[in-house]
Amino acid sequence: MVMNRRGSARGNGGQVPAQGRPARKKNLPKWLVICAWLAALGTLAFGALFGAVLVYYDNQLPDFRQLSEYKPPLITRVYDRNGEIVAEYANERRIWVPISEIPKPVVEAFLAAEDSHFFEHGGYDLKAIVRASLVNATTDRKQGASTITQQVAKTYLLSSERTYTRKIKELILSWRIEKAYSKNEILELYLNRIYLGNGSYGVGAAAQTYFSKTLAELNLQERAMIAGMPQAPTRFNPVRNPSAALARRNIIIGRLQDEGYVTAAEAEAAKATPIGLNVSPLKQGEDAPHFAEFIRQMILKQYGEKALYQDGLSVYTTLDLPTQRRAEEAVYQGLKAYDRRHGWRGPLAKIKNMNDWQDELEKIAANYAHSWRIGEPGVVLKVGRDSARVGLSDGKQVMVSAASMKWTGKGTPSSFLKIGDVVMVKPANSKGGDAYTLEQLPAVQGALVAIDVRTGEVLAMVGGLGEGVGFNRAIMAKRQVGSSFKPIVYTAAIERGYTAASTVLDAPIVFRLGDSEWKPKNYDNKFNGMTTIRQGLEQSRNLMTVRLAQDVGMRQVSDVGKRMGLKGIPTTDLSIALGSLDMSLMDVTSAYSVYPRGGVAIDPTYLRRVQDSQGVTLFRAHAACENCLAQLGASPDVAPAMPQMAGREAIDPKTAYLMTNILQGIVLRGTGYSLNSLGRPLAGKTGTTNDSIDAWFVGFSPSLAVGVWVGFDTPKTLGSGETGARAALPIWKSFAEKQFEGTPIEGFTVPAGIEFTRIDAKTGLLPGANSEKVITEAFIEGTAPTEVSPDIFDTGLEIFNGGSESAPRDTEDGSTGSAPQQGGQQGPIENLLRTFGIY
């Protein structure tokens, strides 16, 4: 058999039987061939276009490798000495939590809510993209298809603009990120950067913000609520939109069930619970507003704005929050007591349109947000003889009884309250309820500082009441110090050889300058004649103090003050001896702390240590001590001795003790007598300026120096009888009672070189036969008196006719005894006159 050209068998004359001929193949339809060619060309075109797009955008994409170098903006935290947070500063609330420390149930909640196929896809979910495209094209709903990886690309590397260009970049970056990073690394980036409302970025911050918990403490419903927020943080914010947040939370719980992360029973139980929020915003220094602001300014100045708000510094301060809270409460109660002594001043405001009283009240209440300790504004809705009904800004209505208004001295409520009056009210007890009391925002202001004597560290600082950070009166206010300056004069005298038993004439004295004259007075307008140094300071005798300053010289007084930390004391103005100069409460209190510290001056310190986010120490107040416990002789049974802090010797230790001993007498017998009830060694001095414009009490125990000031921001009289002993001392005492409660009683240390001798309290000499009162007095060795008191002691008052100011007097150039001539009367006359009556 041969084959023809067509490949068919040829036989029998080349003829093939008809029944054996194969059927002819049918050709494909032309339209199908055309479609196939078009599809092939389309695929090639799409591939070319896709490649061109990749090449085009490749040069526009940010370097995804910068994710490895990402440093998130972190919160700067200010801590007290015990590690309790005082304040937090940040543009974003963020707590970075490593993926190894994020509980698995938290991760599962976000996977169920945002990307259930996260561990399966390579950066993008093609099915989800197609599904979302169809939904968006065929319905009015908008559905997203972004994976967690895409959200990381958008959040860290791209903007939030809604364009196809950004979406293309996002897809490309997501693919690259998946190739470069593990799934856990991507999750860590996502969970720490996602915005979750209320200024919180990341799951750690959200747990703190909404529930005041760590991630490990969150329950199922709390995890679900947080996981449901990334889609729309504002719409699903549980604080502002609790119903929407609840609905979204329950959807996420359902998805957790669908994915098999929780059982049906667990899901149903979680859905049945309400949203139990425990909102904890960033700490704004509420417990210590003025101290926190002082530290903020200090860090801002030293390290800059970026470091403060983004670098996550850890700032460890000297503040002791329990002490601070006692100080704040003492100042509030003291100013409240003063304010009530001076009666009702009227409502805060008046609401005329009572139809919208709640909206109007909210606007007014915003101005008093920092007055929470005092109360909150409310509007009088109804008033009668026995009570008043008051509406609060949240719509709640409360009752204020007539009994809580007795302090006003105005009679029945209806006699001084009107409908529409905005007043301050406060819950009658801490348990809540509808019973409230009528309060009043004090117009007077005050300040308190407490300093650790051993270290100079500031334990508490109250710079004012009821107005937030505002003006820090503890540091920034310079006010006349009055008699609280007198110990500086007496310290200078002791350095010049005076003793506590030395006598100085307490009698009228006049300084003439041209046609004008200055006649300092004692507060009681009486004169005691020759009086001991101890009695002069205990009784705050002005005339003695002026003579003493004239004798030792104002230059010596200024020098002593400078060494103790009080700078800028004039050297030619005797009125300074009575406290006519202006100083800050912090400076005066720090100067007083020199006495119990044995004459050593230490500048007040506010910071202990500052560290960056990596734990590197940027600042340390005191040098690090290696093997401290061993060096200080510590053992399991014996506590280590406290190391000596750096300081400078301002005055001799013996002089410091003598002044401490004299100032103790002010507490035992003088204007600080009320402190005796505390039952422990205390010392201090009151101060009141002319016309009772400023009231002071500065005192100390062996371990704590505390200063209190009370006055108006715009200087004016506090009122008749509002002396340092009445306006400032009760605040000091209230604080000290709580501060010393449960602490051991300490005694002041007696240095070497001090001896004690019994003397006549009146003459300052050794007791005689007719001595009426004998006391034990402290002396520097070798300075005790050797002369015995005479039978008759001449006080030197005979010529003054019982203290009459019409009696003969010293002239401007007269000497008070053996004292050298001093130019106190040469000071500016206006300074002399301004102190007329200071005591």
List active site positions: 114, 483
* Closest among 529, 563, 567, 533 to 551, alpha carbons compared: 533
- Given the structure tokens 């003829």, which residue do they identify? 15
What single-letter DSSP state applies at residue 739? H
- Under 8 Å between Cβ of 660 and 699: no
Measure CA of the first residue to CA of the last residue in the chain; give whole Å.
147
Strand intervals (E) in 51-189: 76-79, 85-89, 93-94
- Under 8 Å between Cβ of 124 and 171: yes
- Under 8 Å between Cβ of 197 and 237: yes
511: CB partners within 8 A, 6+ apart? 517, 518, 519, 574, 812, 824, 825, 832
Whole-angstrom distance, CA of residue 203 vs CA of residue 198: 12
What single-letter DSSP state applies at residue 726? I
Name the helix (H) or strand (E) containing 142: none
682: CB partners within 8 A, 6+ apart? 664, 667, 672, 675, 699, 700, 701, 736
Please give, one letter per residue, the 3-state secondary structure of 313-326. CEEEECCCHHHHHH
Strand intervals (E) in 128-241: 200-201
Task: Provide the β-strand partners of residue 779.
Answer: 755
* Closest among 219, 598, 268, 173 to 227, alpha carbons compared: 219
Tell me the helices (H) and strands (E) count for the chain, helix number first. Answer: 23, 30
Whole-angstrom distance, CA of residue 590 vs CA of residue 453: 9
Whole-angstrom distance, CA of residue 542 vs CA of residue 523: 8
Whole-angstrom distance, CA of residue 192 vs CA of residue 205: 9
CA dihedral 525, 528, 532, 535 (to 10 degrees): -50
Helix, strand, coil proportions of the chain in percent (round to 5)? 40, 15, 45
Phi first, then psi, for residue 115 (nearest 5°) are -165, 80
- Under 8 Å between Cβ of 728 and 708: yes
**Residue 202, Ramachandran bin (φ over 0: left; ψ between -120 and 50: alpha; else beta):** left
What single-letter DSSP state applies at residue 530? E
Whole-angstrom distance, CA of residue 253 vs CA of residue 124: 24
